[in-house]
Chains A and B, each alone.
Chain A
Amino acid sequence: MAHSHHPESWEELLARLARGELASHQVLAAWQERHLPTAGEPRREERQAETSSGDPALVEGALQELRKLTGLREVAELAREMAALVEVQRRRRAHGLRVEPLVFHMVFTGNPGTGKTTVARILGRLFKGLGVLPQGHLVEVERADLVGEYIGHTAQKTREQLKKAMGGILFVDEAYALARGGEKDFGKEAVDTLVKAMEDHRDQLVLILAGYRAEMEAFLRMNPGLRSRFPIQIDFPDYTTGELLEIAQQMAAERQYRLAPSVPRRLARLLEERRLVRGPTFGNAREVRNLLEAAIRRQAVRLVRQERTSREDLMLLTAEDFLEGSG
């Protein structure tokens, strides 16, 4: 119900209905939430009694967010397909037709900073909106959060994380590291515990294993049972420099900064250099964020010396703010 917390007037709600942003029941729900507080309590219970009706606004919002992500059109398309599939399955069920249980466990492959966590977080909202997951929150873990130091410790640690993720998504970053130590390693125990939880809590949990492409491929080869349990594999390619510049513009705008016309060329050069030097550890969008944040700090130093600063000054990042060796 996050969408209905904005205090909106009746007229504004109707305008959003006219624009196709809200369905009529969402208008009514949003209005009642504010004006009929007593009706709120029983409504929630009854809503849960209804067979997972979902939240179309949340679904639409999540799909829109995915569409806005630079360079991830295929992910947005895949999400649209998943949403359609859930809806059609629901309709088939209503007509008494056979439905296969839907499995949404996924493997995300790609280098750092290519949008894996961002996408996972939005998918959480999508799944909540679709009624696939009750909460749709994201719990991000890595090997150290799952693997313990003695026999039995790993299962216990892994179960703790699973408990936190119940109702949402458990995102295992650099999941291939679970296979690091070979047969005797406790990583295997963590994998087994995860797999068991996936089967036991089918409707409560989506598991995403993420990591570098080559390492994840090797990991799945070594655990042949896993591949079939993770039917969806999404590859996150490195961003092109053009895409990274677009991301830089978006990040700057989000922070209410503007890039001077001279910035893209400088930024492109810095990014190219880093890509060359860092190879597969090149941080993609993360590099952009670091460079931008360094530039914001440098702009601050530049401006604090000036006696007067206009609004325009405060927003503008110039090429001189983006320096070699920063971030």
Chain B
Amino acid sequence: MTRCLVLGKPNVGKTLFSLRFAFFLGAEAVRLARAGEEAHWTSVEAAVRELVSDRPHQTLELQRLSLEIRGRKGTRRLELVDTGGLTDEIPPAPEVRQVQVETLGLLLKGGLLLHMVDASAVGRPGLPEAPGEVDLQLYHLGRARGGYLLLANKMDREGAADGLREARRRFPGVPLIPISARTGLGFKEVKRHLRRHL
């Protein structure tokens, strides 16, 4: 089973993407173990309601989803890991720092990296979800290490097309797929890309 990390700044849409993508791949239910108790959702709406918000740092524990991609050449299994947001700043809250430690801890352990940026915020450097220093570092690591895919999320938003152009300019030489975790845009391409790399 290949591990697949979803990484990025807070509030770029990692959790929403992870949940929707899990159901898109045909998961009938997502099961998450958080803080000892196991939760279980059978619809994306129910899971989203509980796990996603528009405030940053909602994900304080790595969330692992066991998924399968079915294809003509058989079924490939992957573990999608939804991580806590990485920040340019040093987070004051120790629990946020802890989840960053765990996230980076997995980074060197192999697997695929899905690095998510907010395309609608690319041109607005004042926003916390705008790509910053940490995105630059992830990009350099990903480009050198391989198994790396850049996801430009929130393509349904205004200004995202310009942001995508800017992102392509700023992060050259790596595969980049524009997506919308909200509408499902680009999921098919992500799936195809993952299948090739699993």
Could you list which residues of chain A lie within 8 angstroms of chain B, going by C-beta atoms?
Answer: 10, 14, 17-25, 27-29, 32, 36, 38-39, 43, 46-47, 50-51, 53, 56, 60, 90-95
Contacts and interface: CB of A to CB of B under 8 A. Distances in A.
A23 B86 CA distance: 9
Contacts of B36: none
A60 B89 CA distance: 11
A94 B125 contact: yes
Given A20-B90, A56-B90, 9 more contacts: A10-B108, A14-B104, A20-B91, A24-B100, A24-B137, A25-B132, A27-B104, A51-B125, A93-B126
B158 interface: no
B88 A23 contact: yes
- Interface majority SS on B: helix, strand, loop or mixed? helix
Interface string B95-106: 001101101110
A23 B9 CA distance: 12
B134 A24 contact: yes
A28 B138 contact: yes
Contact of B97 (A20, A28, A56): A20
B134 A28 contact: yes
Contacts of B108: 10
A23 B104 contact: no
Nearest to A95: B126
Interface residues of B, number: 31
B168 interface: no
Given A22-B90, A28-B104, A56-B90, A94 B140 contact: no
Contact of B105 (A14, A21, A29, A50): A14
Given A17-B100, A94-B124, A23 B140 contact: no
A17 B100 CA distance: 8
Closest 7 CB pairs of A and B: A94-B126, A28-B137, A25-B134, A25-B133, A24-B86, A25-B137, A36-B144
B77 interface: no
B147 to A, nearest CB: 15
A53 B170 CA distance: 15
Contacts of A25: 86, 88, 132-134, 136-137
Interface string B38-65: 0000000000000000000000000000
